[in-house]
Amino acid sequence: MEAATEFPNKEAFRQAVVNTLERRLFYIPSFKIYRGVAGLYDYGPPGCAVKSNVLAFWRQHFVLEENMLEVDCPCVTPEVVLKASGHVDKFTDLMVKDEKTGTCYRADHLLKDFCKDKLEKDTNLAAEKIAELKHILAVLDDLSPEELGAKIKEYGITAPDTKNPLSAPYPFNLMFQTSIGPSGLSPGYMRPETAQGIFVNFKDLYYYNGNKLPFAAAQIGQAFRNEVSNPSRITIWLFAFQDGHVWLLMSVEVVVFLLLLISVFEVTFTLSRKKEYGLNMKGKLQISPRQGLLRVREFTLAEIEHFVDPDDKSHPKFSEVAKLEFLMFPREDQVSGKSARRIAIGEAVSQGIVNNATLGFFIGRVYLFLTHLGIDKERLRFRQHLANEMAHYAADCWDAEIECSYGWIECVGIADRSAYDLRAHTKLVIAPVKKELGLAFKGNQKMVVEALEAMEEKEAMEMKATLESKGEAEFRVCTLGKDVIIKKNMVTISKETKKEHQRVFTPSVIEPSFGIGRIIYCLYEHSFYTRASKDGDEQLNVFRFPPLVAPIKCTVFPLVQNQKYEEVAKRIAKSLTAAGISCKIDITGTSIGKRYARTDELGVPLAITVDSTSSVTIRERDSKQQIRVSIEEVASVVKEVTDGLSTWGDVLWKYPTHSS
């Protein structure tokens, strides 16, 4: 396989990849005829085929091989579910508003930009100040709204576009909100993850599995996050006083077109014409260098929830992956400034670097999944979460990170989430003991019972703790207008749990969660290379997709325009289609070299050229080697290679090579 041609820098390489992807319609910015919506992309025909191949392989590799229970739940989710899961209260970014224009910014981004800028550009900073700014950058994620607001005030940070003062930080929920039904009284959200659909079905799935642990459920589907894009901006102002010509020369369309051509930047354009001053025009161009195709508002998630006994996290198939060795980046190594290193997953588990064998098993399976797709082993690492990145309830968490031109990107999260998720959806059971309450409160019993039953979860769990530690608790009964003393024997408070062999527990959840779009984007970068054309005048683009991933498995073209050859080509295409192999006929009169180049740019692994009515040539994309095969055999040879039963090397041995 040829090495990728050198590019001057990462950005130039990314540009080449993204240009090819957009030109060949792997991606299309959504609704672009209406100027698009930031953070929404369509998959065009080849992109859609790649996605569908990746998902089919995910199903085979995880659901089928591991006998998982796949479910498919709606995206519209009632508020009560996401309230219980914590998303309504905590799935937020802290925002500040430009107090005059109302433009919103992420508070942490503004503070981060300020600190970085200061550290880079201000050479006169005192050592003390440098330490302070560095400290802020380190603890940025842990700052409370008040602390963030205080720092923004202290440093005099203003709105980047207008220099106007900013509001105090306030939480903005990242979920898309909607309303279910015509009354407007049932709030709902578009799910921010697919996992909750599995958790709320836990009982049914547990029953379906014969009331046995462990088992895994899986779901593939859309998730939605109303991301705030708030990067540093480039602002261009166009003025045209009393004269339409500047405006016409420098039309929006031209500017936008040029910028799109040279960048993947998101472009928004606002134009205000102050008619009262005649043709006084003002154009404002904002370029937001988002992480392009990586940070989107709607995306496909594939999630697994593996439910396991918290006291036994072994895995029967762990030995199958234990010897796999790959780049791991444990917490301690990150803290002590070391680099990622190759560790066998079996070692990592036995040394306690990875918390348990089930977690280790999934790390191994994820490694196999990604490398089979064509992700480069050397640019894939498993990074353990630092203590401050992890939720307080999590036992351990590793991200599969893939290196691309944007740096190391989190593509799969593999977390041992302990019992948190199931507990969140577990029913609170408050059982007042009527007899004891009757003895204690006589005629007031009913009011006390009602008040006890009406407790919210937080209050109830506090009472439970107090009763357990002190034996009694003070309790306000509003309908009586006074406090009463509740004793331990007057009420039982509990959350439902599983009973298995008389042992009562809530299962732990181990959750591998795959960002399918991110994996696919990284795959594009890892598969892309350029090589000189035959005459050497141009660089041609190639995607070296494995057949598993390739959007089209095979192209068929007659060497020259000729009815006989065209008929043979159509017959071959028909037999390929019948065998379930996606193929494309190209009967244009373009030179064979150009047609090869076109098909290489889509990552098509094999090309069949019809140059006789009895046999044809098959050319492999990366080696450009060709073999000659009879027309009767061609479909089965192609199927063997694209189904992965034989490699190109294998078939090279069997058939005569052809030199063009």
Q: How many CB atoms lie within 10 A of CB 441?
A: 18
Nearer to its own copies, 74 or 593 (CB): 74
Nearest approach in angstroms of CB 72 to its own copies is 4
Q: Which residues touch 203 (CB under 8 Å, ≥6 apart)?
A: none
Size of residue set near its own copies by CB under 8 A: 86
Query: Which window, 115-123, 195-203, 386-394, 405-413, contacts its own copies (CB under 8 A)?
Result: 195-203
Among residue numbers 261 through 290, which ones bind its own copies (CB under 8 A)? Answer: 273, 275, 278-279
Q: 315 or 331, CB closer to its own copies?
A: 315
Determine which residue in the list 1, 3, 33, 645 makes contact with its own copies, applying CB under 8 A: 33
Query: Does the footprint of its own copies cover residue 74 (CB under 8 A)?
Result: yes
From the CB of 479, what's the least distance to its own copies, in Å?
6
Whether 116 contacts 137, CB under 8 Å: yes
Give dist(CA 192, CA 174) in Å, integer: 8
Asked if 208 is part of the footprint of its own copies (rule: CB under 8 A), the reply reads: yes
Q: What residues does 499 pair with on adjacent strands? A: 504
Q: Which is nearer to its own copies, 176 or 505 (CB)?
A: 176
Choice from 210, 337, 352, 589 touching its own copies (CB under 8 A): 210
Residues 294-323 within binding reach of its own copies (CB under 8 A): 297-298
Nearer to its own copies, 598 or 619 (CB): 598
Is there binding between residue 567 and its own copies (CB under 8 A)? no
Closer of 102 and 337 to its own copies (Cβ): 102
Q: Does 390 bind its own copies (CB under 8 A)?
A: no
Least distance to its own copies, CB of residue 40, Å? 5
Contacts of 171 (CB under 8 A, 6+ apart): 92, 93, 94, 95, 145
Smaller CB separation from its own copies, 349 or 581: 581
**Does residue 8 have a cis peptide bond before it, meaning omega lies within 30 degrees of 0?**
no
The reply to whether 584 sits near its own copies by the rule CB under 8 A is yes
Q: Does 415 bind its own copies (CB under 8 A)?
A: no
Q: Residue 538 and residue 362: Cα distance in Å, rounded?
A: 44
Minimum distance, C-beta of residue 486 to its own copies, in the bound complex (Å): 19
| Residues of this chain, 440-469, that bind its own copies according to CB under 8 A | 446, 450
Three-class HEC string of 241-304: CCCCHHHHHCCHHHHHHHHHHHCCCEEEEEEEEEHHHCCEEEEEEEEECCCCCCCCCEEEEEEE
Rounded distance, CA 548 to CA 50, Å? 9
- Minimum Å gap between C-beta 506 and its own copies is 15
Q: Within positions 532 to 561, which residues make up the interface with its own copies, using CB under 8 A?
A: none
6 DSSP assignment: P
CB atoms within 10 A of CB 176: 17
Q: Answer whether 318's CB lies under 8 Å from 324's CB.
A: no
Q: How far is the CB of 595 from its own copies (least distance, A)?
A: 12
In the region spanning residues 48 to 67, those forming contacts with its own copies, defined by CB under 8 A, are: 48-49, 51-52, 56, 59-60, 64-65, 67
Q: Per rule CB under 8 A, is residue 89 in the interface with its own copies?
A: no
> Among residues 321 and 343, whose Cβ is nearest to its own copies?
321
In eight-state DSSP terms, residue 378 is G
Nearer Cβ to its own copies (51/383): 51
Q: How far is the CB of 607 from its own copies (least distance, A)?
A: 17
Site for its own copies in 103-132 (CB under 8 A): 103-104
* Beta-sheet strand order (sheet of 92-97): 104-106, 92-97, 170-173
Contact 53, 66 (CB under 8 A): no
CB 380 within 8 A of CB 359: no
Which of 71, 287, 390, 440 touches its own copies (CB under 8 A)? 71
Q: Which is nearer to its own copies, 149 or 188 (CB)?
A: 188
Q: How far is the CB of 60 from its own copies (least distance, A)?
A: 6
Residues 474-533 that bind its own copies (CB under 8 A): 479
Q: Which is nearer to its own copies, 607 or 627 (CB)?
A: 607
Q: What tokens does 417 get? A: 């989430």
Instruction: Please state, in angstroms and rounded to a whole number, the distance separating the CA atoms of residues 360 and 384.
Output: 12
CB 83 to its own copies: min, Å: 10
Q: By the 8 A CB rule, do 638 and 581 touch?
A: yes
- Say which residues have a Cβ less than 8 Å from residue 127's Cβ, sequence separation at least 6: none
Q: Which is nearer to its own copies, 108 or 416 (CB)?
A: 108
Helix (H, G, I), strand (E, B) or coil at 503: strand
Identify residues 217-256 at the interface with its own copies (CB under 8 A): 217, 222, 224, 226, 228-229, 244
> What is the length of the chain?
660
Whether omega before 214 lies within 30 degrees of 0, making that bond cis, reads yes
Stretch that binds its own copies, among 133-141, 197-205, 323-331, 459-467 (CB under 8 A): 197-205
Single out the residue of 316, 302, 303 nearest to residue 214, CA to CA.
316
> Which is nearest to 610 in space by CA: 590, 593, 585?
585
Pick 84 or 366: Cβ nearer its own copies: 84
Of positions 4, 15, 40, 317, contacts its own copies by CB under 8 A: 40
Please identify which residue in 13, 43, 206, 528 interacts with its own copies, judged by CB under 8 A.
Answer: 43
3 state SS of 325: strand
Cβ closest to its own copies, residue 439 vs residue 465: 439
The verdict on 644 binding its own copies (CB under 8 A) reads no
Nearest partner of 322 among 264, 272, 362, judged by Cα: 362
The answer to whether the beta carbons of residues 369 and 345 sit under 8 Å apart is no
Pick between residue 371 and residue 582 the one whose CB is nearest to its own copies: 582
User: Which is nearer to its own copies, 55 or 390 (by Cβ)?
Assistant: 55
102 touches its own copies (CB under 8 A): yes
Stretch of 173-181, 312-320, 389-397, 463-471 contacting its own copies, by CB under 8 A: 173-181
- The DSSP result for 505-551, as a single string, is EPPEEEEEEEEHHHHHHHHHHHHEEEEE-TTSSSEEEEE---TTT-S
- What is the spatial distance between Cα 219 and Cα 75, in angstroms, rounded to a whole number? 12
Residue 45 interacting with its own copies (CB under 8 A): yes
